[in-house]
Amino acid sequence: MHSFSIIMPSFNSETFISKSIESVVNQTYKNWELIIIDDKSQDQTCKIIEEYLTKDERIKLIKLDANGGPANARNIGIDQSNERFIAFIDSDDIWVPDKLSKQLSVFLKEKCAICFSSFIKVHENNNSNEVAVFSRRMLTYENMLKLNYIGCSTAVYDTNICGKMHMPLIRYAEDYSLWLSILKKNNNTAIGIEEPLVKYYVRSNSESQGKLRAAAGHWKALYLYGEVSLLKKIMLFCYYAVWHCFMIFINKLK
């Protein structure tokens, strides 16, 4: 039977992590393992996780001795994974119950390296302000050079097609760098599911600063993993910047 290894990094996640774990436990598809890598939390995160360990043997906890960031934590989880499909969920995001079953159907029908989906973006202090971010039907490496169209907590990749691949340690663009690497390999493709399968919670603190850091990370990922000329990299980054400025303007009009 086809199985999923689900990778969840955690750091000071006591407020959200129970709901995230429950959304995995409540999946209609049951053949999975959940590997939680705690990145030296200072709150009650590990205590909450340990309560789940006694209830479900499919859940595993790895405690790190030092904080190394989410990419490092995910890579440790990938190294410890045992199943064909590698899925990602952050410790403050929530899956709908049939997420894995719908993505498995896509993998069995399409020869794709990545399956992802649309998601709902929710501000943590205003649950009524939900914004749907819709996925594309199919993505190639060339498409992904423009923008990161894949939400990390929506993504699953097939190790039978691309092998185990790790996230480069590029803060704020580690997942984007991984998608570029996977799609660049053997001209792989990513298939999107239009239905939103994830609720992604946006933290309110340092939102503008986070956008600047994300832009810096995007440029670094594009510079290191975009196999195009420097001029084209600059043009692609300008496209990214203009697109994000446009989206900020549209959101202010709402």
Segment 215-226, tens digit of pLDDT: 999 999 999 999
Is 125's pLDDT higher than 50?
yes
Segment 143-198, tens digit of pLDDT: 999 999 999 999 999 999 999 999 999 988 999 999 999 999 999 999 999 999 99
Is 123's pLDDT higher than 80?
no
Q: Distance between terminal CA atoms of the chain?
A: 47
Is 251's pLDDT higher than 80?
no
Is 207's pLDDT higher than 50?
no
